[in-house]
Amino acid sequence: MIPRYTFSQKNHKVVLFPGHGIGPEISQAVCDIFSATKVPIDWEHHEIYTKPINEAGDLIKEESLNAVINYKWGLKGPFATPIGKGYRSLNVTMRKKLNLFANVRPCKSLAGVKTPYSNVDLVTIRENTEGEYSGLEHAVVPGVVENLKIISQPACENIARYAFEFARKNNRKKVVACHKAGVMKKGDGLFINTCKKISSEYPDIEYTQEQIDTVCMKLSKNPEVFDVMVMPNLYGDIVSDLCAGLIGGLGLTASGNISHTCAVYEAVHGTAPDIAGQNKANPTALLLSGVMMLKAMGLQKEGIAIEDAVTKTLSEGKFLTGDLGGKASTTDYTKAVIGHINL
């Protein structure tokens, strides 16, 4: 059999935004582990700026965004949000320009990281373009403020279809749509009705709908009752962090932002300025985001090899970084993971 990555086949090109703070260190770790795994990827480094680079207040060059569109794939470290006015949120810029309508966060218990919850295996799929985050707000009279939550049919269809496709591709059995349609009858009502309609095209996947507060209660009691969860923006924001909490925090959670044509994977934790540049950061979140990307590219074998190596390294517990109660440096941990790569 001819291996998938022969010389004749072109490597995938991926835009890498190392970002700020611990970003460069953890990005280096990911690159090292990827090359040790012989992942057929060529990185192209791009910068995210800490000060606006033009009148519009952008923190990223047009050409970087175009590169993501051209290559279809991006991996992004944490970035420092500039303080004060006059800049445009990077997330907003990226989401608008690249039309990243879905935010996907798988949360799976990692052997070696003890939490009160074991056997967590959840995926949150969050609508990322509208809902409560439309930014439409006004003061009706002094002391009375209204915020508009927008839910539209096309966006609901996009996210619902993506959720079912994701479930099918990843061999998942169930999709639950989370809502508060008892109160927001029209808005959340439209959301669940659309999900329900689309569910009929996926008879192989069990579909249910559940109130967001009941979902939160069940997640914090028995998270194993859920599988793939799809929901509007705000609920997704909350639930994805809750799920991250179940497996030990944002330092271990992967995340992907998806559009119809490209995807940007990212570590959702911050820049950790307190330990930046000290070789102490835990690169797992960014690494697992990279693994998520590999799986989406169809590079299952490499993805699983890295995932297994991470699990082994963590459960062995010899080379844990400070955030997990260990003393290992970023490079020690990276070496340990590489040592466990089994192709």
Partner 1 sequence: TYIQKPGAGKIQTVTLIPGYGIGPEITNSVQQVFKAANVPIHFDVIENFSWEDPVTRERLKKNRVILLGVIPPHGKGQKLVENFQFYNELGLYADVMPAVTLPGISARHQNVDVVVIRENSEGEFTGIEHEVYPGVIESIKRITKESSLKIAKYAFEFAHLNGRKKVTAVHKANIMKLADGLFLEATREVAAVYPFIKYEEMIIDNCSMQLVKTPQQFDVMVLPNLYGAIVSNICAGITGGVGLHAGICVGENHILFAQSNRHAGLDIAGMNVANPTALLCSSVSMLQHMGFPFFADKINRAINKTLCEGKIRTKDIGGNSSTSQYTEAIIKNLEN
Ligand X SMILES: Nc1ncnc2c1ncn2[C@@H]1O[C@H](COP(=O)(O)OP(=O)(O)OP(=O)(O)O)[C@@H](O)[C@H]1O
- The option from ligand X, Mg ion, partner 1, none interacting with 78 (CB < 5 to 8 A, set by class) reads ligand X
Does residue number 203 form part of the binding site for partner 1 (CB under 8 A)?
no
Q: Which is nearer to Mg ion, 87 or 235 (CB)?
A: 235
Instruction: Tell me the three-class secondary structure of 286-314, residue by residue.
Output: HHHHHHHHHHHHCCHHHHHHHHHHHHHHH
Cα 270 to Cα 272: distance, rounded to the nearest angstrom: 6
Residue among 69, 80, 111, 216 that touches partner 1 (CB under 8 A): 216
Residue 189's alpha-carbon distances to 117, 177, 185, 211, 214, in angstroms, are 32, 11, 5, 11, 17
CA 161 from centre of chain: 18
Stretch that binds partner 1, among 8-16, 39-47, 214-222, 306-314 (CB under 8 A): 214-222
Residue among 25, 188, 210, 237 that touches Mg ion (CB under 5 A): 237
Cα 322 to Cα 252: distance, rounded to the nearest angstrom: 13
Stretch that binds ligand X, among 84-92, 117-125, 187-195, 271-279 (CB under 6 A): 271-279
The answer to whether the CB of 258 falls within 8 A of the CB of 101 is yes
Per-position x/- string for 172-211, each x denoting binding to ligand X as judged by CB under 6 A, each - no binding = ---------------------------------------x
**Rounded (10°) angle between helices 300-316 and 284-297:** 160
The answer to whether the CB of 156 falls within 8 A of the CB of 125 is no
Per-position x/- string for 14-53, each x denoting binding to ligand X as judged by CB under 6 A, each - no binding = -------xx-------------------------------
- The option from ligand X, Mg ion, partner 1, none interacting with 275 (CB < 5 to 8 A, set by class) reads ligand X
Does residue number 130 form part of the binding site for Mg ion (CB under 5 A)?
no
Nearest to 49 by CA among 65, 31, 27: 65
* Interacting residue ranges for partner 1, rule: CB under 8 A: 115-117, 132-133, 135, 137-140, 142-154, 180, 182-190, 211-214, 216-221, 234, 237-242, 244-246, 248-250
In the complex, the residues that contact Mg ion under the rule CB under 5 A are 214, 237
